[in-house]
Amino acid sequence: MEDINKDLPVMIVGLGNPGLAYRRTRHNFGFLAIDKLANELNIPVKRLKFKAMIGEGRFGDNKVVLVKPLTFMNESGRAVAPLLRFFKLPLTNLLVIHDDLDLPLGTLRLRPSGGTSGQRGMASIITQLGTQEFPRMRLGIGRPPGQMDPVDYVLKDFHPSENELKKIVLQTAVEASQTFINEGLTTTMNKFNGEVS
């Protein structure tokens, strides 16, 4: 498995929907992870470029680009693909963070490639890039209760009883992202895949 090219920036993309109404929803787990990472790395994500808010900075010896697409979830690829081309990055230097219905809350999983897991933002990115061979970090949100429509479920805020576990997941996502930047995907997968503690 190829790993990151240390001579080039690492781009970390968090998926979500722009706007205050969506800010704390399950579908915005990726945005929440980028917000926390931006705060920890002191990289403000405030510049508009190619239908996304981006921030550029450094972590250790490595240049980092943090990205929050403003296209709404289902069109995320229209922001990610142009940015990847602009920065002339290989796919190995891209990490996409997104929510995942198929994993329970409290589970974080990194993969070098794969399908969409039914996540439409990922489907858009795969379509726009023409490949599914790029690293991703899946943050579990669990399945909706009872007969609730998954579309309604992902657009609801986290329940107050979930907040503590959500915070732990976000902190773990930050630590995994930092490891990815410094040491690449293989080390990060070995260290962080599974349930957070």
**Residues labelled as active-site residues:** 27
Q: Which residue, among 35, 55, 33, 34, has the nearest Cα to 44 in the 3D structure? A: 55
Residue listed under structure tokens 């576990």: 165
Q: Rounded distance, CA 169 to CA 195, Å?
A: 9
CA distances (Å), origin 42, targets 16, 113, 159: 21, 29, 29
Tokens of 53: 């808010």
Q: Rounded distance, CA 24 to CA 39, Å?
A: 17
Q: Which residue, among 47, 45, 49, 46, has the nearest Cα to 36 in the 3D structure? A: 45
Q: Rounded distance, CA 50 to CA 37, Å?
A: 21
